[in-house]
Amino acid sequence: MNRAGHTLLLSVLRQRRGTLARILVWSVVETAPVGASGLLISTAIDHFLSHDVLPAAEALTALLAAALVGAAATRRLFPLMAAVIEPVRDTFVIALVEGVLADAVKSDRPPDLASVARLTEQVQTVREVLHALLRIIRQIVFASAAALVGLSLLAPLTAVISGGLVLAALALFAWLLPGLAARHKAVLLAEEEVAQRAGTAFSGVRDAIACAGEHRVIAGIDQAVDEQRRRARALARATAARTLVVFVGGQLPVIVLLASAPSLLHRGYLSVGELAGAVTYLTVGLEPALRKLLEVMATWGLEMAVSITRLGEGFAEPAGTPTASPAPDTYDLEVDGLTFAYGPHAIPIVQDLHCSVPEGSHLAVVGPSGIGKSTLAGLLTGLLTAQRGRVLLGGDDISGVDQRELRRFVALIPQEAYVFAGTLRENLTYLAPRATETEIAEALTVVGLRPVTDRLGGVDTRVGAGGAELSQGERQLVALARVYLSPARLVILDEATSGLDQEAEAKAEAAFARRPGTLIVIAHRISSARRADRVLLLDGCTARFGTHDQLAAASALYADLVGNWDHEHGCPLTYSGNRGEKDAGR
């Protein structure tokens, strides 16, 4: 069984031992009305029957006072419970998101769409059930204990019989638990399967319609929903068995007491008041508490246990392994016989590619749309795994480099730049949390983001999720400045400047060209190739290397790309002398 979720939960709870101790103390105070109810009712009835009104009234007044004390304790408990529950929810969300992202980075499988079900339903289940444990079950356990203690003081023989039956009921429930847990997990897995199939169908709806496969997709989702319904019904049938448990532990003691009441009263073992007090403990304290306890444990309790286990299966594994290599000392990039295809029977996108990119150089990758430029970017950064060949960084195969180190020093900026909710400063320093004000100011200036931050009111201005206040080009500038500040020494711009005009694009690329490290640009415009030291031209399964002038003279495809660009856009801007300026900027 995966224990990561349980370990994380216990870790968070251990950090809040003081709060849990205060919850324990106030819980004892809260159960004062239950513990005193039978004794005080018994005293009041016996005094009323003896025509001693004043002591009877005092007993009832004491019962009212106990209820007020219990209410005050309940009021104190809610803030304490919130101080435990919310951090647990936040910790599980963070751990699950880290796990999903880590799996997406190191795996070539499609995204885990079922993680949405775990992030929403299952994390919320953990939160709600923990709340139930701290509020309801805590209350039930203490109330049951108080009822048994009060009953033992009032009628010891009845307490022994009732306690034995309660233990028998709990033993029966424990015997039923493994089967209930298995059915709960089956329901959770069925829900995830529905989420996975529905998510896949929604993301590929156009392909399904184009291939006339919508009926097959709908049938697949229907099958998953039917299976979920079948498993839910099986769980409901198994859960109904708790009725027997409640009868044994909660109702049978009352039946036994009432059946033996004439004999107990006749022989003087109980007075009328003590009998009424004992019935009060059993019917008002013990039976409802046991019923609620079993109801919560058979539903929420099992959901929490199963959800925590399932969530733990999605947590990120400890970073690095004993066989992982540390970050390389140099960042020369070498591609050796690289071949990649999207499927075993598909035509390779990249085939037997060999190239070398020395550290500190500036390479542009060009080719017709859909030729595989972005695929190559994924291969060079280790986000995709080739069927054959290797990508070496500083002489080490990137597949064996520690993933945390690799992600620190290799950065890929895609065309769709992401801006998360927070301040611009938080967005910019996400990869460089110790960046100084001087370094931030330099990044804003050299990348071209300064006018944007000035317009918005500075780097401490808040932006919404996705950067709704920003244009596509402005979001790209934020992503460029973020990576410029980072420690990355191999930067790949995958059409990361497509939302900028030619002048802004030239400025951003020049900034990265002067920056220490290697720059690879998946070219959106031919002008990017003109600024590069060397150009890699992809043409189907072949690839050519050379400078802009060499390829324009030797490759008809490259000359075609240049000619089409110049014809449509006029002579594009160039950045002359980039090598010299790069060397001078070091």
Q: Render pLDDT for 483-530 as a digit per residue (tens, 0 to 9).
A: 999 999 999 999 888 888 889 999 999 999 999 989 999 987 888 888
Share of the chain above pLDDT 70, in %: 81
Integer Cα distance of 117 and 191 in angstroms:
8
Facing residues of 393 across strands?
A: 333, 396
Q: Do residue 279 and residue 405 come from a single domain?
A: no
Q: At a CB cut-off of 8 Å and minimum separation 6, what does 8 contact?
A: 91, 92, 95, 312, 315
- Two structure tokens written together for 133: 């444990």
Tens of pLDDT, residue by residue over 202-236, are 777 777 777 777 788 888 888 889 988 888 888 77
Q: What's the whole-number average pLDDT of the chain? A: 79
Query: Does 190 reside within a domain?
Result: yes
b/e map 19-31, b = 16+ CB within 10 Å = beeebeebbebbb
Query: In terms of domains, do 263 and 406 share one?
Result: no
pLDDT tier at 328, thresholds 50, 70, 90 = confident
Residue 93: CATH number of its domain: 1.20.1560.10
The pLDDT tens digits for 85-124 are 888 778 877 777 777 666 665 655 555 555 555 556 666 6
pLDDT higher for 11 or 141?
Answer: 11
Domain co-membership, 399 together with 258: no
Based on the fold, state whether residues 297 and 364 are members of the same structural domain.
Answer: no
Assess whether 265 and 403 both reside in one domain. Answer: no
Query: Greater confidence, 334 or 49?
Result: 334
Average pLDDT over residues 169-192: 79
Distance CA 289, CA 283 (A): 9
Query: Would residue 322 count as lying in a domain?
Result: no
Give, in order, the Cα–Cα distances in Å from 558 to each of 20, 370, 539.
70, 16, 9
Both 161 and 306 in one domain: the answer is yes
Q: Which has the higher per-residue pLDDT, 159 or 433?
A: 433
Element (H, E) at 216: helix 214-239
Q: How far is CA 364 from the centre of its chain?
A: 37
Q: What is the CATH number of the domain that holds 384?
A: 3.40.50.300
pLDDT at 257: 78
What's the structural domain count of the chain? 2
pLDDT for residue 45: 83
Distance CA 177, CA 76 (A): 33
Residue 573: predicted pLDDT: 36
pTM of the model: 0.56
Q: At what angle do helices 4-14 and 17-30 cross, to 10 degrees?
A: 80
Cα 188–Cα 189–Cα 192 angle in degrees, nearest 5: 90
pLDDT of residue 423: 92
Transcribe 340-372 into DSSP letters.
E-SSTTSPPSEEEEEEEE-TT-EEEEE-STTSS
Phi, psi at 365, each rounded to 5° = -110, 120
| pLDDT band at 46; cut points 50, 70, 90 | confident
Q: Assess whether 386 and 490 both reside in one domain.
A: yes
pLDDT at 19: 86
How many C-beta atoms lie closer than 10 Å to residue 215's C-beta? 9
CA 582 from centre of chain: 42
pLDDT, residue 493, reads 93
CB distance 11 to 308 below 8 Å: no
**Which range of residues forms the domain containing residue 133?**
4-313
Section 39-56 average pLDDT: 81
Which DSSP symbol is given to 502?
A: H
